[in-house]
């Protein structure tokens, strides 16, 4: 859609309106829009700024804690559903944290991913770190290269 063309069409249409009530309503909408825009542009106080920063930091900590929790949950869920208790995985998640360990796994492009292959054989790729990394709420924690690697691994196994 060409926004400039739309604006010109609206101007031509407005120029033809002769009903005072319609013009009054449109002017009220315009003033409301300008007032809201002015409010949005008002500088925030240092207190508001600091409160926004604190909230962002809390949100960041919350998402890391949630991701770590899901990485630990993968250990339990894989164990329950497959009978395989990946103790090395558990130690690594506890030692490095879920996020760092997930990044570490994704950076080893040429390493054998025996656990991932086993999950694929069992039809349980949804229990993989790669699947978790690609969840919408966690994607921003990873680089494009890491996301691409996670997707590539899953695609390779799904296309066999």
Q: Which of 150, 158, 109 is nearest to 133 (CA)?
A: 150
For residues 56 and 135, give the distance between their C-alpha atoms in angstroms, rounded to a whole number.
20
Confidence of residue 97 (pLDDT cuts 50, 70, 90): very high
Specify the pLDDT at position 112: 63
Tokens at residue 31, please?
A: 């003033």
The pLDDT tens digits of the residues spanning 30-57 come to: 888 777 766 666 787 888 878 888 887 8
For residues 136 and 129, give the distance between their C-alpha atoms in angstroms, rounded to a whole number.
14
The pLDDT tens digits of the residues spanning 115-135 come to: 899 999 999 999 999 999 999
Q: Are 150 and 125 contacting, i.e. CB atoms less than 8 angstroms apart?
A: no
Whether the CA torsion 126, 130, 134, 140 is positive or negative: it is positive
The pLDDT tens digits of the residues spanning 103-115 come to: 999 998 767 688 8
Record the pTM: 0.65
């Amino acid at each position: 859609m060409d926004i400039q063309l739309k604006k010109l069409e609206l101007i031509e249409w407005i120029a033809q309106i002769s009903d005072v009530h319609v013009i009054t309503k449109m002017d009220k909408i315009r003033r409301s829009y300008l007032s809201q825009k002015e409010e949005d542009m008002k500088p925030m106080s240092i207190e508001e700024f600091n409160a926004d920063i604190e909230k962002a930091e809390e949100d960041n900590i919350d998402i890391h804690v949630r991701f770590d929790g899901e990485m630990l949950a993968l250990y339990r869920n894989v164990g329950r559903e497959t009978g395989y208790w990946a103790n090395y995985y558990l130690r690594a998640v506890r030692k490095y944290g879920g996020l760092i360990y997930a990044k570490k796994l994704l950076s080893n492009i040429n390493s054998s991913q025996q656990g991932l292959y086993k999950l694929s054989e069992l039809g349980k790729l949804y229990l993989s770190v790669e699947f978790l990394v690609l969840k919408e709420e966690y994607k921003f924690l990873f680089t494009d290269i890491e996301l691409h690697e996670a997707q590539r691994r899953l695609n390779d196994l799904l296309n066999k």
